[in-house]
């Protein structure tokens, strides 16, 4: 993984150079570090901000100010959905205020990757490539959602391993009734017990 750190570091700093407003906000992260633990790849990447530049040291003994743990796909979503930083799929350890600042930084980050692509491929090719990438990511997202729905439906309807909504509501209503009955029984016992 360490051979990929330098190109990744260069790409991140190049992206920040294109969004000077976001780059200026990096001063609040100066000399602070974030450890990104990619669970499904069993990799830990430490990110440190020095002189408004992101540095990805290959190995560091310094304890990170903030550790973010999640699967690769979940962590990749942070660029397009910064609020997912505080989702159940991501574990955060360390300075929570720092995590909020990071979310705000990601939320304001506006990288025009299509314009950067146009510099390499030219305007004529950039649009169809970008359109194809957008269609592919939309397809992946829809396929993922469809798979989740189909799996849940199968587990409820076919395998009968999960309750459906009406069964869950009925169960919760039974619990509420039982709780009310128990409260009435406790009150009756209190009245009947000698003081």
Residue 1 has pLDDT above 50, yes or no: no
Same domain, residue pair 195 and 143: no
Q: Which residue's structure tokens are 């619990």? A: 175
Same domain, residue pair 127 and 189: no
Same domain, residue pair 29 and 72: yes
Same domain, residue pair 25 and 61: yes
Same domain, residue pair 120 and 77: no
Listed in order, strand segments (DSSP E) in the chain are 33-38, 43-50, 53-55, 66-70, 91-94
Mean pLDDT (the chain, rounded) = 81
Structural domain count, the chain: 3
Same domain, residue pair 124 and 154: yes
Last residue of a domain, one of 93, 108, 123: 108
The whole-angstrom separation of Cα 108 and Cα 19 is 9
Q: What is the CATH number of the domain that holds 51?
A: 3.30.1050.10
Same domain, residue pair 132 and 84: no
Q: 34 — phi, psi (to 5°)?
A: -125, 130
The whole-angstrom separation of Cα 118 and Cα 113 is 9
Query: What residues form DSSP beta bridges with 37?
Result: 44, 69
Same domain, residue pair 23 and 79: yes
Same domain, residue pair 31 and 116: no
Summarize pLDDT for 159-191 with one digit per residue, the tens: 878 887 888 889 899 999 999 999 999 999 988
Distances (CA, A) of 61 to 35, 56, 172: 11, 13, 50
Angle (CA) 160 164 165, round 5° = 170
Same domain, residue pair 174 and 81: no
Same domain, residue pair 37 and 121: no
The whole-angstrom separation of Cα 26 and Cα 22 is 7
Summarize pLDDT for 99-140 with one digit per residue, the tens: 888 888 877 776 555 666 676 677 777 778 777 777 876 787
Q: Would you give the DSSP letter of residue 123?
A: H
The distance of Cα 62 from the centroid of its chain, to the nearest Å, equals 24
What the block records as the tokens of 10 is: 């260069």
Q: Is the pTM of this model over 0.75?
A: no
Summarize pLDDT for 46-97 with one digit per residue, the tens: 889 888 898 887 666 778 889 999 988 888 777 777 787 888 888 989 888 8
Same domain, residue pair 27 and 60: yes
What the block records as the tokens of 80 is: 């397009």
Range of 28's domain?
2-108
Percent of the chain with pLDDT over 70: 89
Residue 4 has pLDDT above 70, yes or no: no
């Amino acid at each position: 993984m360490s051979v990929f750190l330098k190109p990744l570091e260069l790409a991140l700093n190049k992206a920040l150079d294109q969004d000077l407003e976001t780059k200026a906000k990096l001063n609040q992260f100066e000399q602070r570090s974030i450890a990104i633990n990619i669970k499904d790849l069993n990799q830990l990447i430490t990110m440190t901000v020095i002189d408004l530049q992101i540095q990805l040291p290959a190995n560091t003994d310094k304890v990170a100010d903030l550790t973010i743990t999640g699967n690769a796909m979940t962590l990749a979503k942070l660029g397009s959905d910064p609020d997912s930083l505080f989702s159940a799929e991501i574990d955060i350890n360390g300075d929570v205020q720092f995590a909020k600042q990071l979310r705000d930084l990601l939320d304001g980050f506006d990288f025009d990757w299509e314009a950067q692509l146009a510099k390499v491929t030219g305007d004529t090719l950039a649009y169809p490539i970008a359109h194809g990438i957008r269609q592919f990511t939309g397809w992946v997202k829809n396929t993922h959602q469809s798979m989740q729905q189909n799996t849940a439906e199968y587990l409820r309807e076919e395998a009968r391993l999960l309750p459906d909504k009406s069964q869950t509501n009925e169960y919760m209503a039974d619990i509420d009734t039982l709780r009310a009955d128990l409260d009435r029984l406790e009150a009756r016992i209190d009245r009947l017990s000698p003081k």
